[in-house]
Chains A and B, each alone.
Chain A
Amino acid sequence: MTSRRDFLKVTGATGTGLILGLYLEAKPRPAAAAKAEFHPNAFLAVRPDGTVRITVPKTEMGQGVRTALPLVVAEEMDLDWSKIEVVTAQPGPDFKSMQTGGSTSVSSTWMPLRKAGAAAREMLKAAAAAKWRIGVDQCRTEKGFVLGTGGKKLGYGDLVEAAAKLPVPKEPILKKTSDFHLLGKRTPRFDGPAIVTGKAVFGLDVRRPGQRFAAMLRCPVPGGQPYSWDAWKAMKVVGVAGVVQVPTGLAVIADSTWAAFKGREALAATTTWEEGAAKNFNSAALEAKMRKALTGLADEVRKEGDAEKALAAAARRIEAEYSFPFQAHATVEPMNATAQVGQDSAEIWTGTQSPNKAQERAAAAIGLKPEQVKVNVALLGGGFGRRLGTDFSTEAAQVAHAAGGRGPVQVVWDREEDFRHDLFHPATLHRMRAGLNATGTLSAWCHRIAGPAVLRSWMGGKKLATQASVEANGALDIPYNIPTLKVDFAEVEAPMPLGWWRGIEIVPNVFARECFLDEVAHALRKDPLQLRLDLLGDRGLVKFGVEGADIRRLKKVLEVAADKAGWGHKHDAGHGLGLACHAYDGRTYAAAVAEVSVEKGQLRIHKVTCAVDCGFVVNPSGLEAQVEGGIAFGLSALFTQITWEKGRTVQTGFEHFPLLRMADMPSIEVHVVPSDEAPSGIGEPPVPLAIPAALNAAFAATGKRIRRLPLGSDSFK
């Protein structure tokens, strides 16, 4: 498997540039087919002028891949960071798996990128050595130059022709961590200058010659279809060019976004709907079903001993129900895509986390082959899992296709559509039960999750064998050493499109787990930190769930976070401290301590202290940004929810979805536990800690245990 992933190949040995392609799960392109240095399958290209183009095989949504991944190449290759150019790859034979999610961009490309950079460096050095007729070991590299004995110096650009003729070393020698001069140092975001000057191109900023704009009139109930409408009403609006029907609704095409919106408004007044199967869906009825599913049959995903028997035998039992609502992604840039469709080709411009799927599905929808559809990945104005979906890019291709292929069309979703037609993170209920024995220890733990399954929705209604395990992520990999354990998932179907959300199911599952553990600590009259440390115990690598985890690393981050937050010391009157920890997929270890107070019934989060161990840190500035942002994302979900009435979301805008704002943002302290392990992810691991840390802190401050989200005006009454 690694041989395919790590494949390196030189292409473009034409004398104009050295092109080193990295093929992530892709076959090598025959050398004969290679052309010039700008070959699209090339991963890195050195130009004769010494500039180096690095092609990033993942998409940028704010997590920093267009900085972090080029840094890895630049480090091994000894590049001058000011002379690199960064481009995002396009899906195709050379980039078959650009999917960006699951906090895996750095970990999955780390070794291949290092080898790509190191191989290029070795070849450039060998080329210089041959030219100077000295030994390779008498040469070294520095900031885009090869340096030899006696002051000899050649720029990489001067060596491209000679280097391109050399064989690619299969196992190039990688740098020692102690020799790194770029990795591990703070590097500002590559796209920063473009962002602050307004030049950065997000999906909505794509402007093509002859481009028109489209607004979609969609049924307010997902899955519904227009039944009757009068397109002439829209056509009368100045600037409107036409109305076409596509599977997701009616598209009003115009010469500006505003004209398209106004045309849609006129069209809406004439339209009646067949609202479809979901038209009676509402939150209260779903919750009743979920509550019923808290008892009875379920798919068991973790079993240690006989937890039911231990519960029955326990000296004391505690039980609680936790509730987490539906959530929206609420990226600030609404969904959008621009498409141009010709007879036997199409081109799409969009911010997507799934470029390959976007290509395949758009092609299928308009009767083309994937290779006939070119996908250009723009910057994403937030992703958070929403843009793993391909609904918006497929739709744009369908609109451009239905419009008769006359020039590019940009389909612009507005804020209400973005809320109403999200791929939702579903609600869950959690039945938590614990058995305590007479000696004051925890003897049994049962976690039942009831709710809709994201994976089923994602698979088009199909239930995969892994479904329950996926939905129980964060619950089934509970890291604590408890004599008996049972974790199960009871599916309750919902007719709404569901999708992955930053932190996925780990967020509600860890919320229930870490808050209920606090309840156990309280019941046992133990310090919540001490109870966790005791339950983690003196264990090393432990196998559970899919991945298992290194308990020592988890314990360490917990201790560091508690220490830095002043756990056990005095803090301001009325303030409480709460903590939470988790081993994300057994790869990234994170702990958080929140300091909060409740003033006039309102929760105020003052500070969150985090400790993380995600292996070697590529860019500390990027890592800290991800922790700050991850905590903010989690904290927002204390206050936000999506509810359903008559198949429609009640919330249609930011005014109904109170995301954290400047004044609500706590100060965040990030402590990195140094590690020599290979890097793992950091985008999602902090997210699940925010809610339980804050609510455990609220309990410490007020004695009030919150088990139901979102927080309301009466939560602390």
Chain B
Amino acid sequence: MPDFQLTVNGRLYRVEAKADTPLLWILRDTLGLTGTKFGCGQGVCGSCTVHLDGKAVKSCQTSIKDAVGHAILTVEGLSKDGSHPVQKAWLAEDVAQCGYCQPGMIMTAVALLKHKAHPTDGDIDEAFADHVCRCGTYPRIRKAVKRAAGGVK
């Protein structure tokens, strides 16, 4: 099997895998980074969202081959202790219910705020259009994004 070099959360990994293996499973099963979640494997629930060079992507729809040469960031890489402004906003708004979809939501929020420091409601609707939260935490996610936007001018 081919060898790939991946940069995940600033660390370099050498991984042996088939070229079409989704990044999601490399993160979860090979590297043990289980913060990135499996929800659908079809790119429609957003639970597996990670960053590639700062842009939010669905890791279930990104092959390892396509991830090579990009800076991969997962929820574990945001901060060591939950001190990233978006994580802090999530805690302040007490967003999570079951919490399963939240790492994906947080990664999308971080990417959104990077490109748009003060997103409108429409921006938020659009950014999270591909995410599902079955617990219905959407109002608190919206508040948390706005809170984080206030904090990271």
Contact = CB atoms under 8 A, between A and B. Distances in A.
Interface of A: 60-64, 186, 188-189, 191-193, 195-202, 204-205, 207, 213, 238, 256-258, 261, 330-334, 379-384, 412, 414-415, 621, 625, 628-633, 653-655, 659-663, 665, 667-668
A381 B37 contact: yes
Given A333-B39, A380-B98, 15 more contacts: A196-B82, A196-B90, A196-B96, A197-B81, A202-B37, A202-B100, A207-B34, A257-B29, A333-B98, A381-B98, A415-B41, A629-B97, A632-B135, A654-B132, A661-B128
Given A333-B100, A382-B98, A198 B75 contact: yes
A64 B96 CA distance: 10
Contact of B47 (A258, A332, A630, A631): A332
16 contacts: A192-B91, A195-B103, A200-B99, A202-B100, A204-B34, A332-B37, A333-B98, A379-B99, A631-B136, A633-B136, A654-B40, A659-B132, A662-B124, A662-B128, A663-B129, A668-B139
B91 A415 contact: no
B45 interface: yes
Contacts of A197: 35, 75-76, 78-79, 81-82, 87
Contact of A332 (B29, B45, B141): B45
B28 A193 contact: no
B140 A193 contact: no
A238 B1 contact: yes
Contacts of B135: 62, 382, 625, 629, 632
B96 A191 contact: yes
Contacts of B44: 653-655
Nearest to B128: A662
A383 to B, nearest CB: 8
A628 B135 CA distance: 8
B134 interface: yes
A60 B95 CA distance: 15
A64 to B, nearest CB: 7
B122 to A, nearest CB: 9
Contact of B137 (A414, A621, A625): A625
A204 B48 CA distance: 13
Interface SS majority for chain A:
loop
Contacts of B94: 186, 188-189, 192, 621, 625
B129 to A, nearest CB: 6
A244 to B, nearest CB: 20
Contacts of A205: 34
Contacts of B45: 332, 415, 654
Given A379-B99, A628-B140, A662-B141, A196 B40 contact: no
A177 to B, nearest CB: 23
B131 A207 contact: no
B29 to A, nearest CB: 4
Contacts of A201: 34
A186 B18 CA distance: 49
Interface string B13-33: 000001001100100111011
B82 A665 contact: no
A692 B129 CA distance: 26
A332 B91 contact: no
A189 B96 contact: yes
A199 B128 CA distance: 22
A60 B96 CA distance: 12
Contact of A629 (B25, B33, B87, B137): B137
A387 to B, nearest CB: 11
Contact of A198 (B35, B39, B138): B35
Interface in B85-137: 87, 90-92, 94-103, 106, 124-126, 128-129, 131-137
Nearest to B36: A198
B133 A64 contact: no
Greatest chain B CB density within 10 A among A62, A204, A257, A414 is at A62
A195 B140 CA distance: 15
B97 A625 contact: yes
B32 to A, nearest CB: 6
Nearest to A67: B94
A445 B55 CA distance: 58
Contacts of A630: 136
B128 to A, nearest CB: 4
Contact of B103 (A198, A383, A415, A633): A198
Which 5 A-B pairs have CB atoms at the shortest separation, nearest pair first?
A198-B35, A632-B136, A62-B98, A381-B100, A62-B97
B132 A332 contact: yes
A21 to B, nearest CB: 28
Contacts of B102: 195-196
A221 to B, nearest CB: 22
A625 B126 CA distance: 23
B30 A665 contact: no
B98 A334 contact: no
B37 A655 contact: no
Nearest to B107: A198
Contacts of B132: 332, 654, 659, 661
A384 B78 CA distance: 31
Nearest to A663: B125
Contacts of A331: 98, 100, 134
Contacts of A380: 98
A60 B139 CA distance: 21
B76 to A, nearest CB: 5
Given A189-B96, A415-B40, A332 B101 contact: yes
A238 to B, nearest CB: 6
A380 B140 CA distance: 20
B134 A258 contact: no
Contacts of B82: 193, 196-197
A207 to B, nearest CB: 6
Contacts of B90: 192, 196
A655 B42 contact: yes
Contacts of A333: 37-39, 98, 100
A659 B102 CA distance: 17
B147 interface: no
Nearest to A622: B94
Contacts of A663: 125-126, 128-129
Contacts of B34: 198, 201, 204-205, 207
A60 B99 CA distance: 10
Interface in B42-81: 42, 44-45, 47, 74-76, 78-79, 81
A341 to B, nearest CB: 21
A628 B137 contact: yes
Contacts of B91: 188, 192-193, 196
A535 to B, nearest CB: 31
B140 A625 contact: yes
A210 to B, nearest CB: 13
Nearest to B33: A198
A661 B21 contact: no
Contact of B74 (A198, A661, A668): A198
Q: Identify the interface centre among B33, B38, B140, B142: most chain A CB within 10 Å of its CB.
A: B38
Contact of B129 (A195, A382, A655, A661): A661
A14 B80 CA distance: 38
A175 B78 CA distance: 43
Nearest to A64: B97
